[in-house]
Amino acid sequence: MTSCCPGREAEAALCRVEDIPDGGSLTAAVAARPVILLRRGDAVWGYLNRCPHFSVTLNAARGTVLTYEGQVLMCAHHSALFRFEDGLCIEGPCQGAALDALPLRVEEGCVYAGDPQAR
């Protein structure tokens, strides 16, 4: 994880926007909790890396989470599809459920996250 950005109190500096593949994902940790960052162009979204189906991480092994055409991410376990923009499951065994959003802020190309446990 890049530590190029100065963080503020109660925020974690995660990476630069360009560290997240455009249309793809990047896994990280905030306050010792696994999170996933998604990017489409200049837009960045963050979620806890926990599938609402079985409460396991969305990726089968450490590393990136599968994405499709910069629109949805797919859980590696039972192929549930989640929209980038709101984390809603649109297809799969947990259809209608959603990922837990991670509070994010982007400033001058740097991505900052709030504490996911403060929600």
Least separation in angstroms between residue 23's CB and ligand FES is 21
Among 15, 38, 51, 72, binds ligand FES (CB under 6 A): 51
Site pattern 69..98 for ligand FES (x: CB under 6 A): ------x-xx-x-----------xxx----
Q: Give which of 63, 70, 68, 66 is closest to 23, Cα–Cα.
A: 70
Residue closer to ligand FES by CB (options 16, 77) is: 77
Distance, in Å, from the CA atom of 24 to the CA atom of 40, rounded to the nearest integer, reads: 7
DSSP state letters, 36-68: EEEEETTEEEEEES--TTTSS-SSSSSSPPEEE
Residue closer to ligand FES by CB (options 44, 49) is: 49
Strands 104-107 and 89-91: unpaired
Residue at token pair 């560290």: 19
Among 33, 53, 71, 106, binds ligand FES (CB under 6 A): 53
Residue 36 contacts ligand FES per CB under 6 A: no
